Amino acid sequence: MPATAKICGLSTPETLDAATTGGASHVGFVFFPPSPRHLPFEKAQGLAARVPGHVARVGVFVDPDDGLLDAAIVAGRLDVIQLHKVTPERAAAVKARTGRETWAALAVKTRADLVPAAGFRGAVDRLLYDAKAPDGAKVPGGTGLRFDWNLLDGFAHPLPWILSGGLDAGNADEAIRVTGAPLVDVSSGIETAPGVKDVDKIAAFLKAVARS
């Protein structure tokens, strides 16, 4: 099966349309105020209404409470919940409570960072491997950093998985070839500034994934 792509951190109709018409399988809306990609609920409502039925809407959260999840699910018409900085127990509770497909992100820098992956078996539907943010960073993802893809070589993935961290149109095909990633996730690699997505960069990334 060819790899598919999630375009994350979208905030304008133009960039959303570039993602959905360019072949993205998923679009991501960030609900985390410290992030430059944070999406207010009123903007999420308008964007969600533009997403065609064959593209999944993913809400991105950092250790969210139930109130935030409930409001975001309604505003963003979310199909998928992507959780950062949560335990397997909390992720399982979110999945059970919301009834949504649920992903858990793992911050990766060394092979040891992959060990917790097994703990999410039965708790979530997919794992997202992202580059570990530097100490003191305000956000856990969207840093533009990548981890050593060779860390995944021979790793027995306990669940379907996604590759994230430092991807762009110039390295997407290599990333997919090296890791065998079935789904790749991009945010900063399609921006001209933090939170400012570029329609041409989105198109180029999706073409690179399609070629892989």
Which residue among 17, 130, 135, 198 is the active-site one?
130
φ, ψ dihedrals at 29, nearest 5°: -115, 125
Bridge pairing between strands 56-62 and 26-30: parallel
Rounded (5°) CA angle 166-170-173: 90
Q: Where are the beta strands (DSSP E) in the chain?
A: 4-7, 26-30, 56-62, 80-84, 101-108, 126-131, 161-164, 183-186, 191-193, 196-197
The widest CA-to-CA distance across the chain, in whole angstroms, is 44
Has 185 been annotated as catalytic? no
Residue 2's SS3 state is: coil
Has 200 been annotated as catalytic? no
Which residue among 8, 148, 173, 200 is the active-site one?
8
The structure tokens listed for 77 are 């018409």
For tokens 């950092």, what's the residue?
A: 62
Active site residues: 8, 130
